[in-house]
A and B are shown apart, each in its own frame.
Chain A
Amino acid sequence: MVVVETLLVLLVASIFIGIIGSMLGIGGGIFLIPIMTLGLGIDIKVAAATSLVTIIVTSSTSASGYLKDGFVNVGLGMFLEMFTVTGAIIGAVLVFYLRPDVIEAIFGIVLVYAAFYMRFSKDVACKPVTQGAAAKRSRFTGRFYDQCSNQVLEYDVKSFPKGAGASFVAGNLSGLIGVGGGIVMVPAMNLWMGVPMKAASATSTFILGVTAVASALVYLSNGLMAPVITAVAAIGIFIGAMLGTRTMPKITGGALRAVFSITLIVIAILMFLRAGGLI
C-alpha cells in the first residue's frame, strides 16, 4: 500500500477508534493495534508505540472533559496510577524479551476477556452508593452530578489492595502490548472498589495517560517510534474523541456494548490466527 493510502486509512480508522474509545472509556489501542498490524502490515512493536501516544491523546482529550463535568475521582486516580506505572515499566521492558507471536496471543486473550466483560456485565444503576455525611468523607471519596437521577451522588471507595493489584496488571498489559489498560481498570473499579460506572470510566481515562507515558518513554528510547504514522493516528484519535464525547449521550449503552463485544471477538480470532502463523 502506498504511503498516502496507508495514512488515509489510518486517519479514518483512528477517527472511528477515537469515537468508540471516548464513548466506552478506553484508550482505543485495543482496536488500533490490530488495524495497524493486520490491516496495514506494520510491526506490532511500532504499532504498540504509536498506540501508546494515541492513548495519551485520548486520555488528555477525554479526561479534560470529564474533569470539567466532575466525573473523575482525582485522589483515587492518582493512587492507582502508582501501580499502573510500575506495571507499565515492567511490561515495556519485558516486551524486548518476548516474541511477537507470544505478544499477539496475549493480546488475543485480553480481547476475549474484554468481549465477555462488555457483553455480560451490568451497568451500575444511577443511585447513590452511600449517602456519606461531610464529616465521614475521606480523601478518596468521590462525588459527581448524575443526570439520570438529577442529583449529586457520593460514594466511598473500598478494596484498595484488589484495586492496586488490578492496576498493576492493567499497567503491565499497557507496557507489554500497547493498550491503555482501561478494559481491566474499569471493571476492577466498578466491581471491586464500589466506584459507579460513569466515575470508573472517567477515572480510568484519567489514569490511562500517565500509564501510557511510562511505557511510551521506554519505546521512544528504544527507537520504536514512527513519527509520521504517530502524528496521523493522533490527529484522527483527537477528532474522534471530540466527536465521541458529544455523540455518547445519544446512543444506548446496551447497543454499544453488543457491537463492541462482537468486534472484539472478531479481532481476537484474527490475532490468534496471526500468532499461530495461519495468516
Chain B
Amino acid sequence: MAPEGCGVAAESEPVIRKPLFFGVIGAIILFIIGLIYLFASAPPTYAAVKYSLEDIIHSIASLDAVGIIGIGIILVIATPIARLIVAAAYFSRCDRILAFIPLISMILIVAGFLISILR
C-alpha cells in the first residue's frame, strides 16, 4: 500500500502539470518566431526538407531560423522527459516504487536513443 495522499497522487498533479504546460507553450513560441524569421529571410523551396541531428545542432549554433525551430523541437521532446524527472523527484519523498518507475522509463528512452545513434 502506498502512503495516503501519495499513491492516489492528488497532490502530485499540479507539480507534474507544470513542466508539460510551460514546455509546450515555450516550444510553440519558438516555432512561431522561427517560421516568421524563415519566411522573412530565405523562404524554403520545398516544405519537407529533412535535417539530421547534426544539421539541427549546427543550425542552433548559428541561430538561424531552422535553429530556432530546432530548439523548439528539442524543447517539445524534452517536455515529457522533464515530467519524468519531476515525477521521480516528487515521489522520492513518499513512495519509492512510484519514484523508481519513471526512472526506468528514462533509462529505456536513453538506451533506445544511444542504440539508434550507435547502430
A57-77 CB contact bits vs B (8 Å, 1 = yes)?
101110110011010111100
Residues of B within 8 A of A228 (CB): 35, 38, 44, 47-49, 66, 69
Residues of B within 8 A of A232 (CB): 31, 35
A43 nearest CB across to chain B (Å): 7
In the complex, which of the residues B32, B51, B80 contacts A210, with contact meaning CB atoms closer than 8 Å? B80
- Whether, in the assembled complex, A270 has its beta carbon less than 8 Å from a beta carbon of chain B, the answer is no
B54-85 CB contact bits vs A (8 Å, 1 = yes)?
01100000000010011011001101110110
- Interface SS, A side: helix
B45 nearest CB across to chain A (Å): 7
Residues of A within 8 A of B98 (CB): 75, 78, 139
Residues of A within 8 A of B72 (CB): 231, 234
Docked-complex contact A60 and B20, CB < 8 angstroms: yes
Docked-complex contact B105 and A85, CB < 8 angstroms: yes
B55 nearest CB across to chain A (Å): 8
Docked-complex contact A93 and B115, CB < 8 angstroms: yes
Docked-complex contact A139 and B102, CB < 8 angstroms: no
- Whether, in the assembled complex, A42 has its beta carbon less than 8 Å from a beta carbon of chain B, the answer is yes
Which residues of A25-75 are within 8 A (CB) of B?
40, 42-43, 46, 53, 56-57, 59-61, 63-64, 67-68, 70, 72-75
How far, in angstroms, from A141 to B1 measured CA to CA in the complex? 10
How far, in angstroms, from A14 to B21 measured CA to CA in the complex? 20
Docked-complex contact A230 and B13, CB < 8 angstroms: no
Which residues of A234-259 are within 8 A (CB) of B?
234-235, 238
Docked-complex contact B113 and A221, CB < 8 angstroms: yes
How far, in angstroms, from A217 to B119 measured CA to CA in the complex? 14
- Whether, in the assembled complex, A269 has its beta carbon less than 8 Å from a beta carbon of chain B, the answer is no
In the complex, which of the residues B16, B27, B117 contacts A57, with contact meaning CB atoms closer than 8 Å? B27
Residues of A within 8 A of B46 (CB): 3
Which residues of B24-57 are within 8 A (CB) of A?
24, 27-28, 31-32, 34-35, 38, 43-53, 55-56
B85-119 CB contact bits vs A (8 Å, 1 = yes)?
00100000001011001101100110111011101
A58 nearest CB across to chain B (Å): 9
- Whether, in the assembled complex, A265 has its beta carbon less than 8 Å from a beta carbon of chain B, the answer is no
Given contacts A210-B84, A213-B81, are A78 and B31 in contact (CB under 8 A)? Answer: no
Which residues of B3-31 are within 8 A (CB) of A?
4, 6-10, 12-14, 16-17, 20-21, 23-24, 27-28, 31
B118 nearest CB across to chain A (Å): 10
Residues of B within 8 A of A93 (CB): 112, 115-116, 119
In the complex, which of the residues B13, B20, B111 contacts A74, with contact meaning CB atoms closer than 8 Å? B13
**B residues neighboring A (CB under 8 Å):** 1-2, 4, 6-10, 12-14, 16-17, 20-21, 23-24, 27-28, 31-32, 34-35, 38, 43-53, 55-56, 66, 69-70, 72-73, 76-77, 79-81, 83-84, 87, 95, 97-98, 101-102, 104-105, 108-109, 111-113, 115-117, 119
A-B contact pairs, 25 of them (CB 8 A): A56-B79, A57-B24, A60-B24, A60-B76, A60-B79, A64-B24, A68-B17, A74-B16, A78-B101, A78-B105, A81-B101, A92-B116, A143-B8, A210-B81, A210-B105, A218-B112, A225-B51, A226-B48, A226-B51, A227-B73, A230-B69, A231-B72, A234-B28, A234-B76, A235-B31
**A residues neighboring B (CB under 8 Å):** 3-4, 6-7, 10, 40, 42-43, 46, 53, 56-57, 59-61, 63-64, 67-68, 70, 72-75, 78-79, 81-82, 85-86, 88-89, 92-93, 134, 137-143, 209-210, 212-214, 216-218, 220-232, 234-235, 238
Give 3 nearest A-B pairs by CB, closest first. A139-B7, A89-B112, A139-B2
